[in-house]
Homo-oligomer: A and B are copies of this chain.
C-alpha cells in the first residue's frame, strides 16, 4: 500500500482524485489538506464520498503529510513550488496537478503565469508526466509535473504526425473545446450556470497559458519550433475536452490510420477509433481514456485529428494516478479500469 496525501482537496481535481484513489487497491489516503476547510469532514463537502471516506480536511503542514510516500498537489498554481523542496527532502514524492513544474524555462513560466518561480532549480529535475511520451523518466522521477488538460488532448492528437515528420509545423491549429469544470471550483461570476449555460464562446484567443506548455511538448518532436494557433472554447457541459486539430500534410500518400494505430498500439489509455469515426466526450466521461480519430476530408492535404478526454481524468486526476502507478512500479492501469459513464 502506498500512503498518499492530497494538498488542496476542495476543488474538482481534488474530489476526482479522491474518487479514483478510493477505488485503487494499493493506495491508502493518509491526509487531505485544505487551509480554508481544515476540520471539515470531506464527505460533507462531497457527499458522493460518504460511507467511503471518513477523513476530515487537515492543515497543509509537513507534519500532517510526513507519513506519505507521495503527495499530490491539487492546488492553484504557485503553491507546489513553495512546498516541493521540503517534501522531497523528507523523502516524499510529488505529483503536481498544477502548472508549477510544467514549463522548463522559468522566465517563460513567469511571463505566462505572472509570478516569479520560487523554485527554479527543480525545473530540470521535474519530469513532464505524459506517460505516452515520458514513461521511463516518470518511473524514475521524484517530482512529476502532471500535464494540463488541453495539452494532454492536443499532444496525444498531434504527436504521431510530428514524430513521423509528416506535417508542416509552422501552421498548426488547435481548436479546442472544454466543459466548465476545467475552470475549477471557485466563486466567479463568469462561471455561473446563468453565464455559461446554453451558450458557447471562445476565450483567451490572444493567448492561453497552455500554449507554451503545448509548444514545449510538441517541440520535442521537431527540428524547428512549431507554431501553433490555439483557441480554447467553453462548452455548456461539465466534463470533457474535444480537440479539433488541423495541419497540412507534406505527403498525402501516407496511411494515417495505420500510423496512429501503430503509435498507440501498446498504450492502455489511448484508443484510436476506426476510420470515419467522430469521438464523443461522453464516451470517456469518468474514464482515463483518450479517444482519437483521424480524418483527411475530401482526400485533401489537410489532416483533421479529433481527440477527446475527460478533462478531470486523463486531463488531470486520472493521469496523475497513472503516473503514480508508473512511479511505484504498479500495473499502469490499476485503479483506472472504470468505464466511461454513457449516457
B297 touches A229 (CB 8 A): yes
* Candidates B48, B180, B194; contact of A191 at CB < 8 Å: B194
A238 touches B194 (CB 8 A): yes
| Contact string against B for A residues 177-206, beta-carbon threshold 8 Å, 1 for contact and 0 otherwise | 101110101111101111111111111011
Q: What residues of B have a CB within 8 angstroms of the CB of A341 in the complex?
A: 19, 48, 285-286, 341
A239 at interface (Cβ–Cβ under 8 A)?
yes
Q: What residues of B have a CB within 8 angstroms of the CB of A282 in the complex?
A: 48, 198-199
B343 touches A238 (CB 8 A): yes
With A49-B339, A238-B343 known to touch, is A194 a contact of B203 (CB < 8 Å)? no
A210 at interface (Cβ–Cβ under 8 A)?
no
Which of A188, A192, A195 counts the most chain B CB atoms within 10 A? A192
Q: What residues of B have a CB within 8 angstroms of the CB of A181 in the complex?
A: 194, 343
| Contact string against B for A residues 283-302, beta-carbon threshold 8 Å, 1 for contact and 0 otherwise | 11111010100010110101
Which of A179, A271, A295, A308 counts the most chain B CB atoms within 10 A? A179
Which of A189, A239, A289, A339 counts the most chain B CB atoms within 10 A? A339
Q: What residues of B have a CB within 8 angstroms of the CB of A49 in the complex?
A: 339
A160 at interface (Cβ–Cβ under 8 A)?
no
With A187-B188, A193-B193, A283-B47 known to touch, is A238 a contact of B198 (CB < 8 Å)? yes
A278 at interface (Cβ–Cβ under 8 A)?
yes
* Candidates B185, B235, B244; contact of A175 at CB < 8 Å: B244
Tell me how many chains of this kind the complex includes: 4
* Candidates B12, B22, B195, B201; contact of A185 at CB < 8 Å: B195
A180 touches B192 (CB 8 A): yes
A181 (CB) vs chain B CBs: closest residue? B194
A81 at interface (Cβ–Cβ under 8 A)?
no
Q: A18: shortest Cβ distance to chain B, in Å? A: 8
Q: What residues of B have a CB within 8 angstroms of the CB of A287 in the complex?
A: 48
B175 touches A237 (CB 8 A): no
* Candidates B180, B203, B300, B340; contact of A48 at CB < 8 Å: B340
List the interface of chain A (C-beta within 8 A of B): 12, 15, 19, 22-23, 44, 46-52, 171, 173, 175, 177, 179-181, 183, 185-189, 191-203, 205-207, 227, 229-231, 233, 235-240, 242, 244, 246, 248, 271, 273-274, 276-287, 289, 291, 295, 297-298, 300, 302, 304, 306, 308, 337-343
Assuming A15-B342, A235-B236, what are 11 further A-B pairs, CB within 8 angstroms?
A: A12-B194, A48-B339, A48-B341, A51-B271, A179-B200, A197-B198, A198-B343, A200-B242, A201-B281, A206-B298, A229-B297
